[in-house]
Amino acid sequence: MGGKSAAAGDVYFFQRPDTLKEKAKEVLPMAGSDDFGGARLPSDRLEANVRYLRGIFSGDDTLQVRHVASPTEPAARFCLIYTDGMVDNQLLNEDVIRPLLQFRFRRGGEDLTAAVGRSVTFADSAERTDRVEKLVQGIIYGDTVLLADQCRDALVLNTKGWKMRSITEPESERVLRGPREGFNESLLTNLTMLHRKIRTPDLKMHYLTFGRRTRTKACICYLGSLVNQKVLNELKKRLAKVDIDGVLDTNYLIEEIRDSPHSAVKTIGATERPDVVAGRLLEGRVALFLDGTPTVMTVPHLFAEHFQSDEDYYLNYMFASIGRILRILAFTISTSLPAIYISMVNFHQEMLPTPLLISVSSARQGVPFPTALEIVFMLITFEMLRESGARMPGIMGQTLSIVGALVVGQAAVDAKIVSAPIIIVVALTGITGLMVPRLKGYVILHRFVLLFFSCVLGLYGYLLGELALLAGLFGMSSFGVPIMADSYARGFQDYKDLVFRAPWKDMLRRPQFLSPDKVRQKGGGKPS
Amino acid sequence: MNRIKKAAALLEAALIALLFTGCFSYHELESLTIVTGIAIDKGAGGTKYRMTFECLNMSGGGGSEDAQTPQAVVLQSEGDSVFDAVRGVLSESSQKLYFSDCQEVILSRDIAKEGIRKVIKWFLSDAETRVTLRFVVSEEPTAAELLQQEVQTGQTPALEISGALEEAYSNSLACLPLRLYEINAILSRPGLSLTLPGVRVVREGEKSWLRLGATAVFRDDRLAGWLPEERVPYFIFVRGKVNGGLIVPGDRMPGVTFEIGENRTDLGVTFSGGVPSAEVRTETAVSADEIAAGEKNGDVGGPSFSKLQSAAEETVKAGVEGVIQYVKEKFGTDIFGFGLKISRDYPSEWEKLSKDWDKTFLRMSCRADAKVTIRDTSKLVEKELEP
């Protein structure tokens, strides 16, 4: 930092003779367009260039223009252009403006901008350019553009400094044990978090830009020696085709490039946790970071990943395995229970034991609606309650759930609008549905398809629907890898991380299909 | 576009096919009247059958407060065949009768005497009735009156009888309950005659209640007589269907009761000169649960361990030989399955015997050999725990 005691020396600069002065033809780009088509600064006159850049940003009041002139040499005139709020003001004052005012400028030597860039400013990055596009992008993204009189080039100084969210634990991916940090909205911060987890030059990172208007920076990350080249090439190929004017979240890209775009099953993973991204890269997957969103996408994404929680790997493996089995069970219950209930009660009464039949039958007495309609009503009501509860602030959410529980549960049964067993079935269906939050959307769809088939054809229809849905799942792939790939399990190493989680010392191989380098560890840790 | 049209047409066709052909067996539960028991009597007004259906009347329902135990309702109808009578009841009921939860069928004595083969035919072929249906014979003049009794512990008379049969099957030797498929199997081959549990009404002053009684013995499919209650346990011993129950030596050793843990029965048949003779070997593991003979604990008033054992063995042996003798004399029909045993072990001999098996059964000598192992005595006998 240039403090007050900063030694202010002499700086020599070259001044063009006035004869070179030319009449600037100020060509303004079309309003609203981002395409500068390789335009360059129009003039070497400070005022003309300032007017030109102001013209581009006409209607943007956050643009700040600060004129500076050296007290020792009137010919050394500068202009700083930056966006208010995007720059670190202290940095700008101490490292840019103060040295400009303190250094003694003398004629002779090099261009003024070159001299400033080399010998005056303390900013860590000072790029000299006359390309309008770079200048404009710099101004927009927190850099300060320094224009000098009698210079065709400008300096782009890195003075970025805006307020951003601190690193917190992601709300949707909380863990009881394990790393608590989550990504935030800054691409660089996110990349550093990954760098800190995987300290190897094998970690490759390539920048890309998306969005004709938003110019959002993105970064593809993978481990060079583990990545499946086919997947990587496929990803790059698809990303190259993306032509959208704005990218505000990873989902914009996901929906542009995903396989089976109209399926409710995810074929691209998303997470907000650096440890999850690191874990997936170590299995040979590819991650795509996007500036402005904490969500990072990973490919390929297998169906089994829905049931895997990052916490599984931080907890005791037996406990984690129980959790995983419960999640798979919950998925099955949540999709099948209403369908099976309908089948049993309306088609195959003989499958109910007599006491159960009597109790369900007596509960149904006086209920005006058919069971099928009842269950559809209640399932929709539950989804509404869940959806409204999810968007409500804490206190309101509580009120909502109490009213919902009272109205839906107690009152509806007492008023004989619905029968009591339906409430139990719907509640169980709903609760188990929440156990696999990543499959939320798909579960609802799967459930209603099965329910429809069961309402029409009973258990036969249920099996028919289940077969059709499963066949659909087995036919899907994610970037060339079948999403049910690890369901064709052949031996222990294929099961180790599927239905249960094996202890780390036994996870000798990486998941098949994902990486050409299959061996994760050779012998496994064995107590001696 | 063409593809979308094609897919839409396909979807439409599938939906129409589903919606027009599906739902054919869609029934709401409350539209079914659950039948829990059926009684079959002879028709009164010139028809062949008079059938009585015990149904559950679902009242209340809905909220938790008015959830009531369902009441039994009795419907009756007559018809020339079982199916005719079953259909006839529809004119009395506003709802379809539902038979899958029917627990048992009660036959009247008259129906049993006429032969039950034609009665069980409908139950065998109908889709709703189960092959696990149990059949009993009423010891009262009609079968219907059993379904009109007051209940003691069950919800309805039919459920009470089925509960008692279930208990008899696993915990007592009161009767040998048979299911429809077992009855059909017995009736369709020679060598074992049918028996069905009897149910009677016990009357004491104003009160009356249902009770499992004697066992109905059939010759082919017709009722031949009743095997008295006290002989039924040893009949079950011979059949090898003992799952539990008690051995009470009675006078042989007063105050002692054994509880049966396990039992294995072997029927051994030997031939000498073309005449078979049978031996019934039982091996029973029991525990002596009640020894009330001694004055104080540990003093069993004399009976030593081996005496206990021989008392139990003698009881079973005498019982088994007694019941075989009784059946020979009274009914002359093989309800024990000696014929079945011969047909399995000596098929060639059975060819000659099968035609006139009942007569051969009468001539056949039967011996019993009972072996009882006492597993424990609940510390009531302390000494002499010999091997």
DSSP labels, B199-258? EEEEEETTEEEEEEEEEEEEETTEEEEEE-GGGHHHHHHHHT---S-EE--GGGSTTEEE
Question: Is A350 in Cβ contact with B100 (below 8 Å)?
Answer: yes
pLDDT at A13: 72
Asked whether the predicted pLDDT for residue A145 surpasses 60, the reply is yes
Q: Is residue A164 part of a domain?
A: no
Contact call for residues A440 and A334 (beta carbons, < 8 A): no
Q: Is residue A514 part of a domain?
A: no
Q: Please tell me which of the candidates A345, A350, A456 has its beta carbon nearest to residue B18.
A: A456
Token pair of B123 as six digits: 């139950």
Mean pLDDT for A390-406 is: 75
Q: Which residues of B touch A262 (CB under 8 A)?
A: none
Q: Which residues of B touch A360 (CB under 8 A)?
A: 29
Mean pLDDT for A277-283 is: 92
For the residues of A25-88, what is the DSSP string, one character each?
---PPPTT----TT-B---S-HHHHHHHHHHHTTT-TTEEEEEEE-SS-TT-EEEEEEETTTB-
**Element holding B181 (H helix, E strand):** helix B180-187
Q: Give CA–CA dist A316/B98, Å, rounded.
A: 52
Instruction: Say whether both A201 and A91 belong to one domain.
Output: no
Token pair of A458 as six digits: 């009973």
Task: Give the end of a domain, one of A458, A474, A490.
Answer: A474
Q: Which residues of B touch A350 (CB under 8 A)?
A: 100-101, 128, 130
Q: Which residues of A touch B70 (CB under 8 A)?
A: 358, 362
Question: Is B56 in Cβ contact with A358 (below 8 Å)?
Answer: yes
pLDDT band at A330 (very low <50, low <70, confident <90, very high): very high
Q: Please tell me which of the candidates B22, B67, B128 has its beta carbon nearest to residue A457.
A: B22
Range of the domain at A186: 171-313
Contact call for residues B143 and B111 (beta carbons, < 8 A): yes
Q: Give CA–CA dist B315/B231, Å, rounded.
A: 12
Instruction: Report the chain A residue with the minimal C-alpha distance to residue B155.
Output: A355
Q: Is residue A521 part of a domain?
A: no
Distance from CA of A507 to the nearest CA of B (A): 45
Nearest to A112 by CA among A16, A40, A1, A17: A16
CA atoms within 13 A on the CB side of B238: 28
Continuous H helices in A158-249: 187-197, 229-241
Question: Is B101 in Cβ contact with A357 (below 8 Å)?
Answer: yes
Among A1-15, A40-54, A468-482, B259-273, where is mean pLDDT lowest?
Answer: A1-15
Name, in order, each residue with C-beta under 8 angstroms of A138's C-beta and a sequence gap of 6 or more: A144, A145, A156
Test mutation, A347, A351, A354, chain B, max B CBs within 10 A: A354
pLDDT at A72: 83
Instruction: Report the chain A residue with the minimal C-alpha distance to residue B27.
Output: A346
Q: Please tell me which of the candidates A364, A413, A458 has its beta carbon nearest to residue B63.
A: A413
**Greatest CA separation found in chain A?**
107
pLDDT at A31: 45
CA distances from A333 to A443, A483, B193 (A): 10, 22, 49
Question: Is B130 in Cβ contact with A416 (below 8 Å)?
Answer: no
Which sequence spans correspond to the domains of chain B?
28-227, 231-387
Name, in order, each residue with C-beta under 8 angstroms of A480's C-beta and a sequence gap of 6 or more: A230, A231, A234, A300
CA atoms within 13 A on the CB side of A168: 7
Instruction: Say whether both A200 and A74 belong to one domain.
Output: no
Distance from CA of B184 to the nearest CA of A (A): 22
Q: Is residue A411 part of a domain?
A: yes
First to last CA, chain B: 90
Question: Is B30 in Cβ contact with A365 (below 8 Å)?
Answer: yes
Q: Give CA–CA dist A362/B61, Å, rounded.
A: 5
Q: Which residues of B touch A358 (CB under 8 A)?
A: 34, 56, 58, 70, 101
Token pair of A433 as six digits: 């549905």
Q: Please tell me which of the candidates B18, B25, B62 has its beta carbon nearest to residue A365.
A: B62
Task: Give the end of a domain, one of A313, A341, A375.
Answer: A313
pLDDT band at A191 (very low <50, low <70, confident <90, very high): very high
Question: Is B60 in Cβ contact with A365 (below 8 Å)?
Answer: yes
Domain B231-387 has CATH 3.30.300.210: yes
Instruction: Report the chain A residue with the minimal C-alpha distance to residue B100.
Output: A350
Q: Which residues on chain A place their C-beta less than 8 Å from a C-beta of chain B?
A: 345-347, 349-350, 354, 357-358, 360-367, 370-371, 413-414, 416, 419-420, 453, 455-458, 461
Q: Which residues of B touch A371 (CB under 8 A)?
A: 28-29
Instruction: Say whether both A309 and A329 belong to one domain.
Output: no
Query: Domain count of chain A?
Result: 3
- What is the rounded (10 degree) CA torsion for B298, B301, B305, B308? -130
Question: Is B29 in Cβ contact with A357 (below 8 Å)?
Answer: yes
Q: Please tell me which of the candidates B29, B63, B100 has its beta carbon nearest to residue A361.
A: B29
- Long-range CB contacts for residues B184-188, cutoff 8 Å, separation at least 24: B184/B120, B184/B124, B184/B131, B187/B116, B187/B117, B187/B120, B187/B220, B187/B221
CA atoms within 13 A on the CB side of A70: 25
Q: Is residue A414 part of a domain?
A: yes
Q: Which residue's structure tokens are 């909220």?
A: B63
Instruction: Report the chain B residue with the minimal C-alpha distance to residue A347.
Output: B26
Q: Give CA–CA dist A205/A230, Å, rounded.
A: 17
Q: Please tell me which of the candidates A370, A453, A461 has its beta carbon nearest to residue B28.
A: A370
Name, in order, each residue with C-beta under 8 angstroms of A258's C-beta and a sequence gap of 6 or more: A267, A268, A478
**Radius of gyration from C-alpha coordinates of chain B:** 26
Instruction: Tell me the whole-structure pTM to 2 decimals.
Output: 0.78
Asked whether the predicted pLDDT for residue A327 surpasses 50, the reply is yes
Distance from CA of A471 to the nearest CA of B (A): 17
CA atoms within 13 A on the CB side of A174: 3
Q: Beta-carbon neighbour count of residue A241 at 10 Å?
A: 8
Residues of chain B short of pLDDT 50, as ranges, are 60-67, 385, 387
pLDDT band at A517 (very low <50, low <70, confident <90, very high): confident
Test mutation, B28, B29, B71, B130, chain A, max A CBs within 10 A: B29
Token pair of B196 as six digits: 């069905």
Model pLDDT for residues A224-267, shown as the tens digit of each residue = 999 989 999 999 999 999 989 899 999 999 999 998 888 888 89
Q: Is residue A4 part of a domain?
A: no
Asked whether the predicted pLDDT for residue A2 surpasses 50, the reply is no
Angle at A24 between CA A19 and CA A25, to 5 degrees: 145
Among A307-321, A360-374, B299-313, B361-375, where is mean pLDDT lowest?
Answer: B299-313
Name, in order, each residue with C-beta under 8 angstroms of B355's C-beta and a sequence gap of 6 or more: none
pLDDT band at A366 (very low <50, low <70, confident <90, very high): confident
Q: Give CA–CA dist A445/A443, Å, rounded.
A: 5
Helix axes A371-390, A440-474, angle to 10 degrees: 120
Q: Give CA–CA dist A519/B87, Å, rounded.
A: 72
CA distances from A106 to A73, A74, B96, B185, B337 (A): 7, 10, 110, 121, 128
Among A137-151, A415-429, B290-304, where is mean pLDDT lowest?
Answer: B290-304
Instruction: Say whether both A15 and A153 belong to one domain.
Output: yes
pLDDT at B311: 87
Instruction: Report the chain A residue with the minimal C-alpha distance to residue B55.
Output: A358
Between chain A and chain B, how many beta carbons pairs sit less than 8 Å apart?
94
Task: Give the end of a domain, one of A313, A342, A359.
Answer: A313
Question: Is B70 in Cβ contact with A358 (below 8 Å)?
Answer: yes
Among A171-175, A415-419, A520-524, B136-140, where is mean pLDDT lowest?
Answer: A520-524
Instruction: Say whether both A139 and A60 belong to one domain.
Output: yes
Nearest to B366 by CA among B277, B265, B269: B277
Model pLDDT for residues B71-130, shown as the tens digit of each residue = 788 999 999 999 999 988 888 887 888 898 899 999 999 999 999 998 999 999 988 889
Test mutation, A365, A374, A416, chain B, max B CBs within 10 A: A365
For B216, counting Cβ atoms within 10 Å of its Cβ (0-12 exposed, 13-18 middle, 19+ buried), the class is: buried
Angle at B296 between CA B293 and CA B298, to 5 degrees: 85
Question: Is A354 in Cβ contact with B101 (below 8 Å)?
Answer: yes
Question: Is A357 in Cβ contact with B70 (below 8 Å)?
Answer: no
Distance from CA of B313 to the nearest CA of A (A): 41
Distance from CA of B34 to the nearest CA of A (A): 8
Q: Is residue A503 part of a domain?
A: no
Nearest to A222 by CA among A213, A211, A237, A233: A233
Distance from CA of B158 to the nearest CA of A (A): 13
Distance from CA of B67 to the nearest CA of A (A): 8
Test mutation, A362, A364, A459, A464, chain B, max B CBs within 10 A: A362
Q: Is residue A483 part of a domain?
A: no
Distance from CA of A364 to the nearest CA of B (A): 6
Distance from CA of A328 to the nearest CA of B (A): 30
Instruction: Say whether both A338 and A372 belong to one domain.
Output: yes
Q: Which residues of B touch A413 (CB under 8 A)?
A: 62-64
pLDDT at B383: 54
Q: Please tell me which of the candidates B60, B62, B101 has its beta carbon nearest to residue A413.
A: B62
CA distances from A179 to A65, A169, A283, A312, B310 (A): 44, 9, 19, 13, 75
Asked whether the predicted pLDDT for residue A36 surpasses 90, the reply is no
